[in-house]
């Protein structure tokens, strides 16, 4: 019995949320404003996910916008496709940049080792030069 009551309460609450969302959508359409999810969230206090995941509300929103502009689904589809393509491009770019970064780290390490070797060579040559200078001065 308690389970049935909980289900009934949840269903009633869900229906109230759907009605609230539909009224908010209709209000924005009547004002000739674009019923964006962001604006609907502000008006109703419902989550963004509710407007995207609830099939009834999503259809109501889509139909309202279609009536208002006539091109909603096409725009949303293109935005989604563009967004997915852009994300894929960015992921590929990140991967390439990481690879380049790793190559540059390796090159930097090799160059650092070469600098150390050259510094040792310079130090050895300077020691030899000092010895030659001392030897030369002793001869004078």
Q: What is the pLDDT of residues 59-100, one digit of tens each?
A: 888 888 777 765 455 556 666 666 677 777 777 888 888 888
| Distance from C-alpha of 130 to C-alpha of 78, rounded to nearest angstrom | 76
pTM of the model: 0.47
pLDDT band at 119 (very low <50, low <70, confident <90, very high): very high
Query: Minimal CA–CA distance to 23: which of 59, 55, 61, 54?
Result: 61
- DSSP letters, 58-100, are HHHHHHHHHHHHS-HHHHHHHHHHHHHHHHHHHHHHHHHHHHH
Phi-psi label, residue 74: left if phi above 0, alpha if psi -120 to 50, beta otherwise: alpha
Q: How many residues does the chain have?
A: 140
Q: What is the pLDDT of residue 81?
A: 66
| Distance from C-alpha of 15 to C-alpha of 31, rounded to nearest angstrom | 24
Per-residue pLDDT at 28 exceeds 90: no
pLDDT band at 122 (very low <50, low <70, confident <90, very high): very high
Q: What is the pLDDT of residue 139?
A: 80
Q: Over the chain, what is the mean pLDDT?
A: 84
Question: Residues 47, 20: contact at Cβ < 8 Å?
Answer: no
Q: Residue 56 is encoded by which pair of tokens?
A: 């009834």
Percent of the chain, pLDDT > 90?
26
């Amino acid at each position: 019995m308690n389970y049935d009551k909980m289900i009934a309460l949840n269903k009633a609450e869900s229906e109230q949320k759907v009605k609230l969302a539909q009224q908010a959508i209709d209000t924005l359409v009547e004002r000739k404003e674009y019923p964006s999810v962001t604006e609907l969230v502000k008006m109703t206090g419902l989550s963004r996910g509710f407007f995207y995941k609830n099939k009834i509300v999503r259809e109501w929103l889509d139909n309202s916008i279609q009536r208002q502009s006539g091109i909603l689904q096409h725009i949303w589809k293109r935005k989604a496709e563009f967004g997915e393509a852009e994300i894929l491009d960015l992921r590929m770019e990140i991967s390439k940049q990481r690879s380049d970064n790793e190559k540059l780290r390796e090159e930097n390490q090799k160059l650092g080792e070469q600098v150390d070797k050259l510094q040792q060579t310079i130090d050895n040559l300077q020691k030899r030069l000092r010895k030659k200078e001392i030897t030369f001065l002793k001869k004078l």
